[in-house]
Structure 1
Amino acid sequence: MISLPLVYTILSLVAYTTGFWYTFTHLLAKRKANTLFMAIILLIGLVLHAYVLRNDMVTAYGINYDVFNLLSFTSGLMLVLSMLYSSYRPVSALNLLGIPVAASGLILGFVFSQPNQYASQHTIGLDLHIILSLSSYAVLLMATIQAVMMWLQNQELKKKQKRLWVNLLPPLQVMESLLFDMLITGFITLTAALLFGFFMVDNFIQQHLAHKTIFSIISWFVYATLLIGHFKFGWRGQKAIRFTIIGFFLLALGFIGSKFILEVILGRS
């Protein structure tokens, strides 16, 4: 018997695929896409995604913080942010990466999520810390994707090769402005998440949070250095791209890496 979550997963993937193909074909043909249609089709996908995630993540015993549930949540939130950013800047091509990421997160969460991965202490402050952390990861993942797209665009401009990204994307100046919009948002939410974490967590070693905290703080310094360098010394271009990618690599290594090792390899919650 086919379960309802499976049906919703399939329907969400259909909505995501439709939105991706619609955006891609219109950008390739340099035609203006119907923003209302895009918003509706992607919102349908996100609502179904949220239902599937809720079925796995929200339980009678509390929130199931399984690593694949968190990946699914973060990927969906990333698509929401992609839609928001593209609503006020001409960067609808960003959804061409946001949609596959959301679809991949949905599949991973549905197939691999495990039960009984609950927080040892359940408080509003801790939940807020987790939500802020996930929000910062989502925004900074968007910034990293944006940086990669800028790198591809810049490579095509330098080498004068087939200009796929140059044709799909707006000018580099617009792309760079959006990159720093994302970095500022992500840096603020990451700062808030770290502050809540210091106040809400009692024992970093016992709760297996030392590695995550160390990598998160190092990542925070990388982003802080980049933002200070940008606004005070005019850092931009390749330097901004490198700092953005390094910062997110450290953040992902601390969060996803340590959680994957604890839960999947060592079998600890």
Structure 2
Amino acid sequence: MTTVQIVALVVALIAYAGTFWHLLSHLLNKKVPRRMASLTMLLIGLVLHAFILLPALITPQGVNFNLFNILSLTSWLMLTLTLAFSTYRPVLGLNLLGIPVAVAGLLAGALWQAPYQPLATIGHGLEGHIILSLAAYCVLLMAAIQAILLHVQNRELKHKTERRIWVSILPPLQTMESLLFDMLLLGFVLLTAALLLGAVSVENLMAQHLVHKTVLSILSWLTFGILLVGRWRMGWRGQRAVTFTLWGFSLLLIGFIGSKFVLEMILKIA
């Protein structure tokens, strides 16, 4: 890393940490966080995160989608989407989980590299498939985080705990649940488009080591599809929605990140 990138990394970490502490301290003390200050600090962190990531991702040899670049890019996209939701929904508290994920992704992408053959020439179809896949993954990652928050919030309500931390700092349960299904619907649409575009763009699944990833992605798509139909036809909600969401995302995580880890870090296949 260059000196400029090291400085940018430090400032980005300070911006992320500052936002996290500001949100946590205010919400624990039942005070309203400074919305503009929080969003501005997050935006600074995201801009510097992108500044560090882009040279590693877009190289003279082509696009480098190695494991750690993917982790960094995914975490950046996820926090960007969370910030976007925060501009018009009362979900600023979601950044308490989004920020640590972004910090982990930023450090992974900045400090480590994995063997990978950069994509010098790829068709528009495959390029679109990759972009849609990343977008779907990020939205569904946000849905998984939302499901965890919903579970914790619901648990506090049922067990009548003395200190209801998440009940106090998060929006009402119904609002949280509605937001979860908004995320799931958007993620499902993006995942559907990614799978369809991949089906017509990828020529040889076996040669490109994509069979396991495709199977797990389809299983994830079916899980989310069943949940959305269950919500529409039978009003599924609560713990069932949380369970389906986490199972669906786990399948996607194993297929998307797990397969890259095995291929690049264990089998050393670029």
Q: Sort the TM-score into its range (normalised by shorter chain).
A: over 0.9
What are the Cα deviations for residues 158-193 of structure 1, in whole angstroms up to 9, with x where unaligned? 112231111111111010000001001100111111
Match of 1:112 in 2: 112
Please name the residue that 2:157 is paired with. Answer: 157
Distance across 2 between alignment mates of 1:114 and 1:216: 23
Distance 2:254 2:240 in 1: 21
Q: Is 2:166 aligned against 1:145?
A: no
TM-score between both structures, scaled by the size of structure 2:
0.96
The 2-side partners of 1:219 and 1:213 are apart by 10
Aligned residue type for 2:237? R
8 Å Cα contact 1:5/1:55 also seen in 2:
no
- Give how far 1:126 is off: 1.4
How does the TM-score come out when normalised to structure 1? 0.96
Q: Does 1:225 align with 2:229?
A: no
Deviations 1:98-127 (A, max 9, x none): 111111100011111236432385222212
Superposed, 1:87-106 pairs within 5 Å as 87-106=87-106
Matching residue of 2:5: 5
Distance 1:194 1:117, change over 3 A: same
Hey, which bits of structure 1, 4+ residues long, moved more than 3 A?
114-117
| SS of residue in 2 equivalent to 1:30 | coil
Which position in structure 2 is the counterpart of 1:122?
A: 122
Q: Secondary structure at the match of 2:87?
A: helix
Separation (CA, whole Å) in 1 of partners of 2:110 and 2:209 = 26
Q: Does structure 2 retain, via aligned residues, the 8 Å contact 1:143–1:244?
A: yes
Deviation at 1:137, TM superposition (A): 0.5
Partner Cα distance (1:111, 1:209) in 2: 27
Does 2:223 align with 1:216? no
In the other structure, the counterpart of 1:169 is 170
Compare 24-33 and 256-265 and name the one that shifted more.
24-33
Paired with 1:35 and 1:140, the residues of 2 have a C-alpha distance of 25
Report the Cα distance in structure 2 between the residues aligned to 1:224 and 1:191, rounded to whole angstroms: 10
Answer yes or no: is the 8 Å Cα contact 1:69–1:109 preserved in 2.
yes
Contact 1:226 1:240 (C-alpha < 8 Å) held by counterparts: yes
Against the structure 1 CA distance between its residues 2 and 64, is the aligned structure 2 distance closer, same or farther, given a 3 Å change threshold? closer
Secondary structure of the equivalent of 2:222?
helix
- Which residues of structure 2 form unaligned runs of 5+? none
| SS, match of residue 88 in structure 1 | coil
Q: Deviations over 1:49-100 (max 9, x none)?
A: 0011112111011100101100100001100111122222212110100111
Counterpart secondary structure, 1:96:
helix
Structure 1: stretches of 5+ with no match in the other structure? none
The separation in 1 between residues aligned to 2:239 and 2:39, in whole angstroms, is 32
Mean CA deviation greater in 85-94 or 214-223: 85-94
Number of residues paired by the alignment? 269
The aligned residue for residue 43 of structure 1 is 43
Q: State the one-letter code of the partner of 2:75.
A: S
Aligned to 1:268: 269
Alpha-carbon distance in structure 2 between the residues aligned to 1:59 and 1:179:
37
Q: What is the CA–CA distance in structure 2 between the aligned matches of 1:145 and 1:84, rounded to whole Å?
A: 16
| Shift, 1:9, TM fit | 1.2
Matched residue, 2:19: 19
* Mapped contact 1:64–1:115 kept (Cα < 8 A): no
Which residue pairs with 1:74 in the alignment? Answer: 74
For 1:129, give the aligned amino acid: H
Q: What is the distance in 2 between the residues matched to 1:153 and 1:254?
A: 29
1:27, distance to aligned residue in structure 2 (A): 1.3
* 2:63 and 2:120 in contact (8 A); partners too: no
One-letter code aligned to 1:180: F
CA distance in 2, matches of 1:128, 1:13: 31
RMSD across aligned C-alpha pairs, in angstroms? 1.4
- Out of 170-179 and 2-11, give the one that drifted further: 2-11
